[in-house]
Amino acid sequence: MPQAHSYYCDGEWVDSDSGETFAVRNPANPDDVVAEFPKVTVEETERAIEAAVDAQEAWASTPGPERGAVLRRAAALLDERSEAVTETLTREEGKALPEARGEVGRAVDILYYYAEKARDLGGDVKASSSAETTLRTSVEPLGTVGLITPWNYPIAIPTWKLAPALAAGNTVVLKPASMAPTVARELTDCLAEAGLPDGVLNVLTGSGSVVGSTITEHEDVDAVSFTGSSSVGSQVGETAAATGKRVQLEMGGKNPTAVMPSADPAEAARIVADGAFGVTGQACTATSRAIVHTDVYDEFVDALVEEAESKELGPGLDGYGMGPQVSADERESTLDYVEVGESEGATLETGGGVPAEPRHETGHYVEPTVFSDVDSEMRIAQEEIFGPVVGVIPVGSFEEAVDVANDTEFGLAASVVTDSLGEAERFGDRVDAGVIKVNEKTTGLELHVPFGGMKASSSETYREQGDAGLDFYTTTKTRYINY
């Protein structure tokens, strides 16, 4: 029997009045029900928001080092349980064990990082133009914040929103994604056992149209941070802004890697394959376009096909390096884009179908897919696919590569593979993306530097992670004291 979970409100796990539940299924074996969670109602969401509001003043007045100590204890608890949480993450989301293990470790590191940052939130002293005036700033929390998080990084993304919010003294209402909420429950247990006061964190499961909309519209929620699709993010942003909330949106991407003539084609293909097929292509920073100079184009395509065909697909818990997509709908969407690419005239070099080994019969698997002869105007070069599909676009110059890289509505991550320092620097200057990499895959982020996109990839309001991650959750007062 799958474990039946409750939702978390005011320090307690509570059964929903609705009596309705939803099942979380293993993408590698959909008959395996990992857990069941309640569909929380509007009224229950409102009670959770009220609990957060009631707890906020006391939490905000708790000294920063004490708030940090709670995060530090939670990090230690999560670290102790990391292998069990890793297996749960793989079972409910589908990614390979090393990928899941890295994600859990990332969550641990984020908690430790913001535990120390909580000591530094006092403000600054500035020199006044008056000899009789002290001039200083103080940093204060916004109040109660709503966090809406996706399924593809179901513990890392909630943690990188939660940790700075809590470190700064805010209370939180969190809605994790319904396809992978179990690890958010594990994170919540660690924070509760670490001494987080009742009401400071509330975790609600259910539909976006009920829970997410209530959080976004509620007058007592001071800010909303959302990560997910561009279509949903735009709706969240409009609704939250209409009620005067501070808004942070991180959304889709159509991330390019440009490969220049000085690059080693085999090494460039490895970089692109890691970015395109890691986490089954289900990352907003995944490489989906390889923009390749004609001088190395044919060699690159051959090497990328070899990389794609070397991937071993199967259940993450059985040790395979690439898992299934998270759901049947996600797989069908990817397969639909394969048909679109073929209909548009791109050449399907490899993949594009469902693997046929016995271990693939029950899961939502898609073969790593490479298209060549892709034109920048094609849908597969413009629209986010969110699966293991990469299109290779030929270009004749560095300048054309930059133009093609910028030729989408998105601007999240971009990379260039080159031995030319000048090309590397010019690429960073001219490409419209929030994350620029040189001789690296587009995926993978350091936790202590800002992360966010441009154009339709982001609200372009506040960055996440690092010191910038605290800016969204705080406001500043300037104090003039004439003595």
Mind telling me the catalytic residues?
250
Q: What span, in angstroms and rounded, lies between the C-alpha atoms of 124 and 137?
A: 5
**How many beta carbons lie within 10 A of that of residue 434, not counting itself?**
21
Residue in the block written with tokens 């409009």? 238
C-alpha dihedral, 219 to 224 to 228 to 231, nearest 10°: 50
Q: What span, in angstroms and rounded, lies between the C-alpha atoms of 190 and 92?
A: 19
Cα dihedral sign for 199, 53, 75, 187? Answer: positive
Q: What span, in angstroms and rounded, lies between the C-alpha atoms of 349 and 247?
A: 42
Residue 422 pairs in a beta bridge with none
- Please give the backbone phi and psi of residue 42, each rounded to the nearest 5 degrees, phi first: -60, -45
CB-based contacts of 229, cutoff 8 Å, min separation 6: 251, 252, 384
Buried-exposed string 342-381: b where 16+ CB fall within 10 A, e elsewhere: eebebebbbbbeebeeebbebbbbbbbbbbbbbebebebb
| AA identity, residue 393 | I
- Please give the backbone phi and psi of residue 51, each rounded to the nearest 5 degrees, phi first: -60, -40
Are the C-beta atoms of 317 and 87 separated by less than 8 Å? Answer: yes
Q: What is the CA radius of gyration of the chain?
A: 23
**How many beta carbons lie within 10 A of that of residue 460, not counting itself?**
15
Are the C-beta atoms of 432 and 391 separated by less than 8 Å? Answer: no
Burial class (CB in 10 A: 0-12, 13-18, 19+), 171: buried
Are the C-beta atoms of 380 and 337 separated by less than 8 Å? Answer: yes
| AA identity, residue 444 | G
Residue 2 has what DSSP assignment?
Answer: P
Are the C-beta atoms of 278 and 255 separated by less than 8 Å? Answer: no
By C-alpha distance, which of 375, 374, 454 is closest to 413? 454
